[in-house]
Chain A
């Protein structure tokens, strides 16, 4: 395909869509699909057919529309009407009343002027909810693959790297490493063969940002990877995605096939010397396989166990070759950066944390779902404007970011801007985008125990501190939460947490104690209230002189 041909496809598709009077989009991502979304899609199609409206109404299955807690969701593209909790009967009414008679189905309307929608800024999710996830032409009509065309035909690889660097984009997989810097290292690394790897392992409990992007807009990730391949000199990409994401895998497979057929992946892309292929590798869902060195070993067909770094994958990655490894959301930001320029991107968010971040809102909050917000937005706005606050009759207590590797942010810090550095000041991390809200009914010792239990399960067992230490930390938490703990146990708990953090081999063990340390920092009283004094214990400062000198 040439650049001109790409434009033709876009024009033809836009013209085709314009022939319809209505475009109805129905969320076909896993969240809605799991609560009857597929049946809604079928009911809509049936109702359209029954009224002979096929030439007037186009029905498209799209990615996640965000308000997953109220799904299945259906949108009427023209006027932007959004319907929630749609079932077959409501689907029938949408066609009969809204489409045929122009009368909205009031009972299921979503108020789209709610801050849930107006406070969001969509870059990564811009197509989710509007383009058909299974049609490459729809993606192209929305400007898809233009960035790849621009990079390959108008820019030198070094210029692409520079553009990404100037955008200020940082890795969305958790650590926030500057993406342009990483690309530059891989570009300069010596090696005949280089690889691009997309980390779609997404192991944080409750997180589904990456899944939503892959299900809703798979081509965007492919395009980002191809641009990464061009910039770094790689000709082969791998997407490592967990087997628990069957729909994402299916859509990716389809997308790769479509892109290959269109000549957007394969040899001589846009008639240039650039060749790039992408293959999928399916993981078995171990959390540790999201760690880059373990992920690489897993792609190589070995046991997914981390190894000490350096060497970093940028120098020695897959089969010893320089390897660019980025997160799904990181790659999803690339095409818009190249298309609209680094200046546009850098102006969103804060100077040190540019762009947006996708979060999966969960826990004790009214609006659960997928949101995308500009970096630097105060936590308060996420929780209360977008999330609608905690359920009736309860108050906000804390929010956990970074899942089992992160920490909690207490109510005192609600005005904290959500960016990499600010979150670090309160002992938490941006993480990959899990955001779990706790209210006055939540018990923080239990929260810490839950995450430690997860780490005990997910530790790969390679290094001693994480393999054994997490078990003992969990045991101490259990003891304390059951009211059997002593002050000595609390002291031991803190010592072991520090030790496991300092001595573990990989990020899993190094960050496993974070939820404990963080809840201890802000909610220490919840621990101490559960303690009981050991027998014969004399509280500090109350012993008489005789006994202390003995």
Chain B
């Protein structure tokens, strides 16, 4: 591991060579919008919100999966990036059926916040109005695929942290959908442990708890940091040895 120095938006920063540009930016208080990234989960580079410019290349790079290099000059907030981020949010808004006013996470929704942040004032592409299923067969939770933005956080938290791999993706392209087990009703899933992690990491109102009213539910993702940190440091091993 080596410490490298680079610039982000002209500011000199330093970071480790095995960290992402996103992590380095965050450590220095520089905000880069993200959606599919979540601290504690693997990065997939799928939402493309965190794209940044790197001097000397015409290409754009996802900050969440790009490693730093000595002397790199990174820009996170150019006119082009702001425009592209707004279009990405616009695409997501047009892709699902997002009616914020009747959503249980209204005012606590990452998609909603990002539409404010990217100044999305109107959607200039047609709404696709897809027909998507809502599955309320689970005892405690509901998945409303109309509000799913396919960030795959639920898939990853279930596989990587809970170890159940209940969720996966079916279909291709615009027909992609999150499914439980082999596309069985969630309530009949044999792999789901009902831990609720997926519900907590879901950035929108696609995964929600039952019994919440409109605008009531707030999602907390801090738990992930604790679990992942504890695993990395093998803290439960220490607890065991203390007891002995």
Contacts and interface: CB of A to CB of B under 8 A. Distances in A.
Nearest to A475: B126
Contacts, number: 92
Interface stretch (A4-12, A120-128, A461-469): A461-469
B150 A472 contact: no
B124 interface: yes
Interface in A238-257: none
Given A465-B91, A496-B87, A470 B173 contact: yes
Nearest to B96: A468
B203 interface: no
Interface stretch (A20-28, A57-65, A499-507, A530-538): A499-507
Interface string A484-499: 0000000010011001
A461 B48 contact: no
A460 interface: yes
Residue of A286, A303, A462, A472 with most partner-chain B CB within 10 A: A462
A320 to B, nearest CB: 14
Interface in B2-40: none
Contacts of B158: none
Nearest to B59: A502
A458 B48 contact: no
B97 to A, nearest CB: 14
Contact of A461 (B88, B168, B175): B175
A229 to B, nearest CB: 30
Interface in A442-494: 456-465, 467-472, 475, 492
Contacts of B80: 502
Contacts of A310: 67
Contacts of A93: none
Interface in B57-72: 59-60, 62, 65-67
B94 A468 contact: yes
B109 interface: no
Interface of A: 286, 303, 307-308, 310, 456-465, 467-472, 475, 492, 495-496, 499, 502-505
Given A459-B172, A461-B175, A468-B91, 9 more contacts: A303-B169, A460-B173, A464-B48, A464-B92, A467-B176, A496-B87, A502-B60, A503-B60, A505-B45
A-B complex: 3 closest residue pairs judged by Cβ atoms: A461-B176, A459-B173, A468-B91
A495 to B, nearest CB: 8
Contacts of A467: 95, 150, 173-174, 176
B230 interface: no
A461 B171 contact: yes
B208 to A, nearest CB: 22
A463 B151 CA distance: 9
B88 A503 contact: yes
A468 B174 contact: yes
30 contacts: A308-B65, A456-B173, A456-B174, A458-B173, A459-B172, A459-B173, A461-B150, A461-B169, A461-B173, A462-B44, A462-B46, A463-B45, A463-B47, A463-B48, A464-B47, A464-B88, A464-B91, A464-B92, A464-B149, A465-B87, A467-B150, A467-B174, A468-B94, A471-B128, A472-B91, A472-B94, A492-B125, A496-B87, A502-B80, A503-B60
B200 interface: no
Contacts of A307: 44-45
